[in-house]
């Protein structure tokens, strides 16, 4: 078979969705072998004005990897997988919990881990911080243990955290030897069980860990199968480009279809910095530091993401604001896990247009909602629930890897 390049073919329009969009298929051949990846993409057809989504990004607390790096303990950096928070990382998350409570200035019930000291950073609350946080109506987190622990401790008592969704697209960028970003568990039960176990070890209290981790409705459909890369593989630039695009696609459609309005996402330093590198508005000089420096542990940044669907371009990230006394760290040095910016506006738009909703090479993974066709029983990869499809059913088991 002769390779003729990349092809994108529109396959029709679906007007029964709550938000009209076109359906497009994209196929791309691998350079190194004869394999071909096929993607399903939803293309907005709205010609309305640009739409702005308020997004809050949070970096996890200090992890075992962060601690080992500070101590130059290189064997500890690569000896374990899916590094959890250290006791210091848990304390940082608890301090973050104190800060947002001060900002909102209301009673949100018992604080987590009451035996830990209160935050002593001097942060007294800020009206602008409170206004940003009050927009949040849903909490997402990377499936990696340190991010999930930060979400549960750092936002314990926060009303939108009655439920939490795990999004594999916002996990940390994986380098060769980056075992800290290799997962161990799949599915909500196993992931939460590991989170609770490691939290209990860090705070030396099973009761406190159980209190924090119990009673949570966790949507782990995005982590139902193996959501991480093997230990020996490095995540290349193109793969990270696609994953960053996929993450913003999830933000775009979850907000566009009314499932949420303003997500708060607990993620990782390299992934957050990479988002700014790829999608920051170059005309907004305040975004530049976020593309070259990292958020400090438990740092929080609010940013506006503008989706201009009518123009057919990539989203742009504007007006970043550090919340709760957060800071950036580092001198802007480059590293293996964050490559150069994607270049021209055209290139960024192309990368965003290639955002993966389904990849045959990785696994056939249903979108955020599930439905079966009445005739064939096949999985609806587009996340539709219109008259062409039966009512949602329980998620099917994840198919074996191709």
Question: What is the b/e burial string over 166-202, where b = at least 16 CB atoms within 10 angstroms of the residue's CB?
Answer: bbbbbbbbbbeebbbbbbebbbbeebbebbbebbbeb
pLDDT over 50 (residue 297): yes
pLDDT, tens digit (0-9, with 9 covering 90-100), for 98-120: 999 999 998 898 889 988 988 99
pLDDT value at position 179? 80
Contacts of 381 (CB under 8 A, 6+ apart): 40, 357, 358, 364, 366, 367
pLDDT value at position 336? 38
3-state secondary structure of 83: coil
| Range with lowest mean pLDDT among 131-135, 182-186, 256-260 | 256-260
pLDDT, tens digit (0-9, with 9 covering 90-100), for 318-340: 999 999 999 999 754 444 333 34
Give me the mean pLDDT over the 268-284 stretch.
96
Has domain 51-348 been given CATH number 3.40.50.1240? Answer: yes
Give me the mean pLDDT over the 337-356 stretch.
51
Give me the mean pLDDT over the 259-273 stretch.
94
pLDDT, tens digit (0-9, with 9 covering 90-100), for 6-43: 444 454 544 455 555 656 666 665 555 666 666 666 65
Burial degree of 369 (CB within 10 A; 0-12, 13-18, 19+) = middle
Give residue limits of the domains in the chain.
Answer: 7-44, 51-348
Percent of the chain at pLDDT exceeding 70: 66
Of 325, 324, 305, 327, the C-alpha closest to 316 is 305
Instruction: Categorise residue 63: left if φ over 0, alpha if ψ from -120 to 50, beta otherwise.
Output: beta
pLDDT over 70 (residue 396): no
pLDDT value at position 333? 45
């Amino acid at each position: 078979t002769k390779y003729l390049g990349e092809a994108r073919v529109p396959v029709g329009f679906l007007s029964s969705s709550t938000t009209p969009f076109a359906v497009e298929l994209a196929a791309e051949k691998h350079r190194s072998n004869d394999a071909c990846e096929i993607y399903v993409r939803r293309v907005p057809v709205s010609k309305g004005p640009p739409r702005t989504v308020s997004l809050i990004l949070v970096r996890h607390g200090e992890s075992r990897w962060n601690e080992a790096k500070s101590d130059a303990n290189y064997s500890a950096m690569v000896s374990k997988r899916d590094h959890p928070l250290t006791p210091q990382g848990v304390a940082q998350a608890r301090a973050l919990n104190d800060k947002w409570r001060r900002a909102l200035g209301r009673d949100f019930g018992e604080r987590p881990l009451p035996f830990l000291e209160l935050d002593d950073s001097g942060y007294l609350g800020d009206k602008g911080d409170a206004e940003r946080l009050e927009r949040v109506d849903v909490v997402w987190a990377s499936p990696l243990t340190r991010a999930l622990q930060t979400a549960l401790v750092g936002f314990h008592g926060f009303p939108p955290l009655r439920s939490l969704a795990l999004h594999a697209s916002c996990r940390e960028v994986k380098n060769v030897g980056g075992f800290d970003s290799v997962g161990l568990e799949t599915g909500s039960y196993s992931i939460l069980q590991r989170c609770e176990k490691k939290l209990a070890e860090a705070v030396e209290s099973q009761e406190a860990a159980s209190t924090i981790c119990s009673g949570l409705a966790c949507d782990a459909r995005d982590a139902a199968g193996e959501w991480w890369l093997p230990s020996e593989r490095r995540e290349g630039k193109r793969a990270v480009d696609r994953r960053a695009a996929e993450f913003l696609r999830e933000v775009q459609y979850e907000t566009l279809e009314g499932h949420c309005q303003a997500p708060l996402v607990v993620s990782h330093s390299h992934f957050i910095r990479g988002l700014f590198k790829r999608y920051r508005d170059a005309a907004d000089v305040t975004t530049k530091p976020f593309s070259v420096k990292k958020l400090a542990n438990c740092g929080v940044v609010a940013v506006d993401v503008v989706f201009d669907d009518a123009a057919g371009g990539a989203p742009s990230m504007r007006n970043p604001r550090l919340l709760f006394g957060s800071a950036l760290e580092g001198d802007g040095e480059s590293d293996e896990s964050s490559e150069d910016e994607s270049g021209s506006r055209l290139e960024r738009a192309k990368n965003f247009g290639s955002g993966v909703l389904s990849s045959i090479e990785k696994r056939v993974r249903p979108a955020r909602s599930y439905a079966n066709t009445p005739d064939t029983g096949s999985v609806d990869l587009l996340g539709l629930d219109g008259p062409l499809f039966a009512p949602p059913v329980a998620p099917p088991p994840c198919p074996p890897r191709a």
